[in-house]
Structure 1
Amino acid sequence: MKFSNGNWMDRDGFTLQYPSQLHDTAVHDDKAVLYAPFVPIVHRGNTLDGGMMTIELSAPAADVIGVKMIHHKGKMKEFPSFEVKSQEPAFLTEDTDRTFTFQSGRLKTEVNKAGSWSVQFKGDDELLTETGSRNMSYIMSDEKQSFMREQLSLDVGELIYGLGERFGPFVKNGQSIDIWNEDGGTGSEQAYKSIPFYISSKGYGIFVNQPENVSFEVGSEKVSNVQFSVKGESLEYYVIYGPTMKEVLKKYTDLTGKPSLPPAWSFGLWLSTSFTTDYDEETVNQFVDGMIERDIPLDVFHFDCFWMKEFEWCNFKWDDRVFPEPAAMLKRLKEKGLKICVWINPYIGQKSQLFDEGQQNGYLLKRADGSVWQWDKWQAGQAIVDFTNPDACKWFEEKLEMLMDMGVDSFKTDFGERIPTDVVYHNGEDPEKMHNYYTYLYNETVFNLLERKRGKGEAALFARSATAGSQKFPVHWGGDCWSNYRSMAETLRGGLSFSLSGFSFWSHDISGFEHGATPDLYKRWTQFGLLSSHSRYHGNSEYKVPWNYGDEAVDVTRQFTKLKNRLMPYLFSQACEATESGVAMMRPMVLEFPEDDTCQYLDRQYMLGDSLLVAPIFNAKGTVRYYVPKGSWTNFLTEEKIAGGRWYTEEHNYMSLPLLVKGSSLLITGAQEQTAEYDYLQDVTVHVFDLQEGETAAADVWTKEGEKAGWAKASRSGSTITVETEGLTGCTLHLHREDIDRADGGKLEAAGKGKTLVMTGDKAVLSLNESRESHL
Structure 2
Amino acid sequence: MEKVGFTLIALLCCYSSTVYATKDYTLKYDLTSKTLNVSLGSKLILQHSPSSSMFFVGNGQVNFREFRGNFFINNYVGDKIPATSFTVNSTANSDIISFKTEQSRVKVTLETKDSHPLVVSFVTGPFFNDFWLRVVASPDERVYGLGEQYSYLNLRGRTYPIWTREQGVGRNKSNIVTFFADNLAGGAGGDYHTTYFPQTTFVSSRNLYCHYGGYNYAEVNLQPPNFHEIYVNGPVSSFYFQSKPDLKSLVGLLTHYLGTQPKLPDWVYTGAILGVQGGTEVMLQRYNQAKQNGVPVSGLWIQDWAGVLKTSFGSRLFWNWIWNQTVYPDLDNEIKLLKGNGTRVLGYINPNLNSNGDLYTQAAKGGYLIKKSDGTPYLTDFGEFNCGTVDLTNPNARKWYKEVIQTNMIDLGLSGWMADFGEYVPADGAVFYSNQTGREVHNQWPTLWAEVNRNAIDERNVTGDVVFWMRAGSAGTSKYTTLMWAGDQNVDFSYGDGLPSTIPAALNMGMSGIGITHFDIGGYTTAAQFQKFGQALVRTEELLLRSAEAAIFTPMFRSHEGNQPKANVQFYTNDFIEKSFGRLAQIFVHISNYTKSVVRDNHDLGIPAQRPLFMEFPTDDISKSVSYQYMFGSDLLVAPVIQGNVETMNVYLPPGDWKFIWDKNEYSGHNYYNVTATMGMPPAFYKKTSEYASMFSEIQTKFPPLPLPPATTTSQPITTGSPCTSGSSSSLGGVSISLIVYMYLICVILCFSPLKSFL
Counterpart in 1 of 2:97?
Answer: 34
Counterpart in 2 of 1:15?
Answer: 79
**CA distance in structure 1 between the partners assigned to 2:638 and 2:299 by the alignment:** 24
Contact kept in structure 1, 2:252 and 2:606, CA below 8 Å: yes
Contact kept in structure 1, 2:304 and 2:317, CA below 8 Å: no
Matches within 5 A, 1:245-264: 245-264=247-266
Contact kept in structure 1, 2:293 and 2:575, CA below 8 Å: no
Counterpart in 2 of 1:95?
Answer: none
Deviations 1:78-123 (A, max 9, x none): xxxxxxxxxxxxxxxxxxxxxxxxxxxxxxxxxxxxxxxxxxxxxx
**Residues 267/367 of structure 1: CA separation in 2 closer, same or farther (3 Å cut):** farther
Equivalent residue in structure 1 for 2:199, among 164, 185, 195:
195
How far residue 502 of structure 1 moved from its aligned partner, in angstroms, is 0.6
How far residue 669 of structure 1 moved from its aligned partner, in angstroms, is 7.2
Equivalent residue in structure 2 for 1:182, among 165, 174, 183:
165
**CA distance in structure 1 between the partners assigned to 2:550 and 2:303 by the alignment:** 23
Contact kept in structure 1, 2:422 and 2:446, CA below 8 Å: yes
Letter in 2 for 1:174: G
Counterpart in 1 of 2:453?
Answer: 446
Secondary structure of the corresponding residue to residue 371 of structure 1: coil
Counterpart in 1 of 2:519?
Answer: 508
Counterpart in 1 of 2:667?
Answer: 642
TM-score by length of 1: 0.71
Counterpart in 2 of 1:530?
Answer: 552
Counterpart in 2 of 1:293?
Answer: 292
Matched, 1:563 2:587: yes
Equivalent residue in structure 2 for 1:415, among 421, 425, 448:
421
**Residues 670/640 of structure 1: CA separation in 2 closer, same or farther (3 Å cut):** closer
Contact kept in structure 2, 1:312 and 1:348, CA below 8 Å: no
**CA distance in structure 1 between the partners assigned to 2:571 and 2:135 by the alignment:** 54
Matched, 1:381 2:386: yes
How far residue 319 of structure 1 moved from its aligned partner, in angstroms, is 2.5
Counterpart in 1 of 2:702?
Answer: none
Letter in 2 for 1:57: L
**CA distance in structure 1 between the partners assigned to 2:228 and 2:465 by the alignment:** 40
Runs of 5+ unmatched residues, structure 1: 1-5, 40-49, 76-139, 674-776
Matched, 1:660 2:685: yes
How far residue 63 of structure 1 moved from its aligned partner, in angstroms, is 5.3
Contact kept in structure 2, 1:165 and 1:191, CA below 8 Å: yes
Contact kept in structure 2, 1:447 and 1:459, CA below 8 Å: no
How far residue 312 of structure 1 moved from its aligned partner, in angstroms, is 7.5
**CA distance in structure 1 between the partners assigned to 2:300 and 2:168 by the alignment:** 24
Secondary structure of the corresponding residue to residue 616 of structure 1: coil
How far residue 510 of structure 1 moved from its aligned partner, in angstroms, is 0.8
How far residue 379 of structure 1 moved from its aligned partner, in angstroms, is 6.4
Letter in 2 for 1:496: L
Deviations 1:8-49 (A, max 9, x none): 9999962222222331314265x432112126xxxxxxxxxx
**Residues 267/424 of structure 1: CA separation in 2 closer, same or farther (3 Å cut):** farther
**Residues 547/665 of structure 1: CA separation in 2 closer, same or farther (3 Å cut):** closer
Secondary structure of the corresponding residue to residue 393 of structure 1: helix
**Residues 234/454 of structure 1: CA separation in 2 closer, same or farther (3 Å cut):** closer
Runs of 5+ unmatched residues, structure 2: 1-50, 61-75, 172-190, 310-315, 527-537, 699-759
How far residue 186 of structure 1 moved from its aligned partner, in angstroms, is 6.6
How far residue 610 of structure 1 moved from its aligned partner, in angstroms, is 0.5
Q: Is the deviation greater in 311-320 or in 597-606?
A: 311-320
**Residues 264/637 of structure 1: CA separation in 2 closer, same or farther (3 Å cut):** farther
Equivalent residue in structure 2 for 1:71, among 99, 114, 124:
124
**Residues 447/63 of structure 1: CA separation in 2 closer, same or farther (3 Å cut):** closer
How far residue 496 of structure 1 moved from its aligned partner, in angstroms, is 1.4
Matched, 1:469 2:476: yes
Secondary structure of the corresponding residue to residue 575 of structure 1: helix
How far residue 192 of structure 1 moved from its aligned partner, in angstroms, is 0.6
Secondary structure of the corresponding residue to residue 242 of structure 2: strand
How far residue 430 of structure 1 moved from its aligned partner, in angstroms, is 3.9
**CA distance in structure 2 between the partners assigned to 1:437 and 1:506 by the alignment:** 20
Matched, 1:405 2:403: no
Equivalent residue in structure 2 for 1:499, among 510, 514, 519:
510
How far residue 668 of structure 1 moved from its aligned partner, in angstroms, is 6.9
Contact kept in structure 2, 1:347 and 1:385, CA below 8 Å: yes
How far residue 272 of structure 1 moved from its aligned partner, in angstroms, is 4.0
Counting aligned pairs with the same residue, the percent is 21
Deviations 1:533-579 (A, max 9, x none): 21211022227886545444334323222222121222111211211
Contact kept in structure 1, 2:646 and 2:678, CA below 8 Å: no
**CA distance in structure 2 between the partners assigned to 1:417 and 1:343 by the alignment:** 17
**Residues 567/651 of structure 1: CA separation in 2 closer, same or farther (3 Å cut):** closer
Matches within 5 A, 1:547-626: 547-618=571-642, 619-626=644-651
**CA distance in structure 1 between the partners assigned to 2:657 and 2:686 by the alignment:** 9
Kindly indicate which of the two structures has a greater share of residues assigned to helix: 2
Deviations 1:116-172 (A, max 9, x none): xxxxxxxxxxxxxxxxxxxxxxxx8xxxx6201111122131100110111112110
Greater relative contact order, per chain length (Cα 8 Å cut-off, separation 6+)? 2
TM-score by length of 2: 0.73
Contact kept in structure 2, 1:478 and 1:494, CA below 8 Å: yes
**Residues 420/344 of structure 1: CA separation in 2 closer, same or farther (3 Å cut):** same
Q: Is the deviation greater in 256-265 or in 11-20?
A: 11-20
Counterpart in 2 of 1:214?
Answer: 218
Counterpart in 1 of 2:732?
Answer: none
**CA distance in structure 2 between the partners assigned to 1:569 and 1:608 by the alignment:** 13
Letter in 1 for 2:660: N
**CA distance in structure 2 between the partners assigned to 1:379 and 1:436 by the alignment:** 27
How far residue 397 of structure 1 moved from its aligned partner, in angstroms, is 1.9
How far residue 448 of structure 1 moved from its aligned partner, in angstroms, is 2.0
Letter in 2 for 1:58: E
**CA distance in structure 2 between the partners assigned to 1:68 and 1:630 by the alignment:** 43
**Residues 556/588 of structure 1: CA separation in 2 closer, same or farther (3 Å cut):** farther
Contact kept in structure 2, 1:186 and 1:478, CA below 8 Å: no
Counterpart in 2 of 1:698?
Answer: none
Contact kept in structure 1, 2:423 and 2:446, CA below 8 Å: yes
How far residue 204 of structure 1 moved from its aligned partner, in angstroms, is 0.4
**Residues 604/573 of structure 1: CA separation in 2 closer, same or farther (3 Å cut):** same
Counterpart in 1 of 2:705?
Answer: none
How far residue 268 of structure 1 moved from its aligned partner, in angstroms, is 4.2
Deviations 1:678-707 (A, max 9, x none): xxxxxxxxxxxxxxxxxxxxxxxxxxxxxx
Secondary structure of the corresponding residue to residue 285 of structure 2: helix
**Residues 196/574 of structure 1: CA separation in 2 closer, same or farther (3 Å cut):** same
Letter in 2 for 1:19: A
Counterpart in 1 of 2:183?
Answer: none
**CA distance in structure 2 between the partners assigned to 1:549 and 1:624 by the alignment:** 28
**Residues 272/514 of structure 1: CA separation in 2 closer, same or farther (3 Å cut):** farther
Contact kept in structure 2, 1:161 and 1:200, CA below 8 Å: yes
Letter in 2 for 1:623: T
Deviations 1:701-737 (A, max 9, x none): xxxxxxxxxxxxxxxxxxxxxxxxxxxxxxxxxxxxx
**CA distance in structure 1 between the partners assigned to 2:288 and 2:231 by the alignment:** 54
**CA distance in structure 2 between the partners assigned to 1:362 and 1:63 by the alignment:** 41
**CA distance in structure 1 between the partners assigned to 2:149 and 2:556 by the alignment:** 19
Secondary structure of the corresponding residue to residue 23 of structure 1: strand
Q: Is the deviation greater in 178-187 or in 508-517?
A: 178-187
